[in-house]
Amino acid sequence: MERICRVGTRTSPLALRQADEFLEKLRKHHRHFRYEITGVDTLGDMDKKTPISEVEGTDFFTRELDDAVLGRLADFAVHSAKDLPESLKAGLTLAALTSSIDVNDVLVSRRNLKLDELPYGAKIGASSLRRKTQLKEYRPDFRIVDIRGNIGERLGLMDETDLDAVVLAAAGLIRLGLKERITERIPLEIMKPHPLQGALAAVARSDDYEMIGILSAVDARTGVGV
């Protein structure tokens, strides 16, 4: 009997698009691959008040998906690679890591002004400590505001509040068909990206050798993935 794989993913528009993208890659190698999507809301989806800078490196965005895989409610889970915790839970393995589609952080500004064109004291929304720190190093006059939420919610904050701009990952906007919202790709010498930004990761049970073998077809670390 053909195996139907249950694929765990968060339920945000970006997470669902990422799962689709990963599965499109997988089907190039396994043409008859069959799957069902298992949507899971993680703590990171439900708690939109805790600053990202306080939970970086933890399983804030993966915990419930990890539990779904370990509990056999899903055969593997697809994540933004940069959301992975520093250490996976016992019983799990990183079965595949794709190449990034775009490593850059980007600026989206209200008046389409680039980073150097923003007025003195401009108010910029950012999430990670990395982005906040690098923005302040480049322009100490910036007022950095912590923002949370999915990409649509972050763009809405800029559109509906007094934020002059927000900093986001290029990959997320590209995947959601929002490339036209990008004001500027921030030069890498100004903002060094997360090393896994724009890449996708698949996490499976360590003892599920069949699934690990299937997922290895798109693992960029082996040199055979796409």
pLDDT digits (tens, 9 = 90+) for 10-44: 999 999 999 999 999 999 998 888 899 999 999 98
Q: Judge whether residue 225 has pLDDT over 60.
A: no
Model pTM score = 0.91
| Predicted local distance difference test score (pLDDT) of residue 125 | 96
Range of lowest pLDDT (48-57, 113-122, 208-217): 48-57
Superfamily grouping for domain 105-185? Periplasmic binding protein-like II (3.40.190.10)
- How sure is the predictor about 54, in pLDDT bands with cuts at 50, 70 and 90? confident
Q: Judge whether residue 123 has pLDDT over 50.
A: yes
Q: Which residues are catalytic?
A: 83
Say which CATH class 4-99+199-222 falls into: alpha beta
Q: What letter represents residue 26's amino acid?
A: L
What is the pLDDT of the chain when averaged over all its residues?
Answer: 93
How much is the average pLDDT of 69-91?
96
Q: Judge whether residue 202 has pLDDT over 70.
A: yes
Whether 4-99+199-222 shares its CATH topology with 105-185 is answered yes
Q: Is 89 exposed, middle or buried (0-12, 13-18, 19+ CB in 10 A)?
A: middle
pLDDT over 90 percentage in the chain? 82
The bridge status of strand 200-205 relative to strand 76-80 is antiparallel
Nearest to 193 by CA among 87, 114, 82, 58: 82
Which residues, 6 or more positions from 96, have their beta carbon under 8 angstroms from its beta carbon? 201, 202, 215, 216, 217, 218, 219, 220, 225
Q: Judge whether residue 2 has pLDDT over 80.
A: no
How much is the average pLDDT of 115-135?
96
Q: Which helix (H) or strand (E) holds 193?
A: none
Residues 145-180 as b/e (b if ≥16 CB within 10 A, e otherwise) read bbbbebbeebbebbeeeebbbbbbbbbbbbbbebee
pLDDT over 70 percentage in the chain? 97
Residue extents of the structural domains in the chain: 4-99+199-222, 105-185
8 Å CB contact between 1 and 30 = no
Q: Which helix (H) or strand (E) holds 92?
A: strand 92-97
| Predicted local distance difference test score (pLDDT) of residue 97 | 98
- How sure is the predictor about 56, in pLDDT bands with cuts at 50, 70 and 90? confident
Nearest to 29 by CA among 103, 96, 75: 96
| Predicted local distance difference test score (pLDDT) of residue 41 | 93
| Predicted local distance difference test score (pLDDT) of residue 1 | 46
